[in-house]
Amino acid sequence: MGKKYVHLRLGLILAGEAQTRLIAQYLVETLQVRLERFEHLHDAVEFANQKRPQVVIADFERFGAAGIYGLADLMEKADAPVILVVRDVSEWEREQFKALGVFAVFEGTFSISVLGEKVELALKRRWRIGSSDRLPVVGV
């Protein structure tokens, strides 16, 4: 019998270390998603421009003064579904998230398993969008 290989899908997380630890282990174990963590927006944008992650999870507070504009830049470079974690946002910010096409927003306290479900849906959505640089999913 041959060896079994697991392909880890690539995700980007813009969050603090403690927040990432809570999320990353669950996503690796349940969905085979490896997260590359960034503390600063400019580093995340640079990574997204080079590596093209399959999903982006971001703590909206990490955008700092760049706010919605930083989010729009990251979304453009990543070309991947974005899931935001926010503490408290205004109605205007919610409208902006919707206009930008943010995949999901988690506000306040949430379950890691529910976040995992949204990540799984985002990964499936990414493959359906289709683009010349993406390979189709093939069942074996």
pLDDT 10s digit of each residue in the chain, 140 long?
Answer: 555 544 578 999 999 999 899 898 899 889 988 899 999 999 999 999 999 899 999 999 999 889 999 999 999 999 999 999 998 888 999 999 999 999 999 998 889 999 999 999 998 876 544 443 443 333 33
What pTM value is reported for the model?
0.82
Decide if 72 contacts 45 (C-beta within 8 A).
Answer: no
Decide if 94 contacts 58 (C-beta within 8 A).
Answer: no
Tokens standing for residue 45: 């944008």
User: All domains of the chain, ordered by start, with CATH?
Assistant: 10-126 (3.40.50.2300)
The per-residue DSSP string of the chain comes to -PPP--PPEEEEEES-HHHHHHHHHHHHHHH-EEEEEESSHHHHHHHHHHH--SEEEEEGGGGGGGHHHHHHHHHHHH-S-EEEEES---HHHHHHHHHHT-SEEEESS--HHHHHHHHHHHHHHHHHH--TT-PPP---
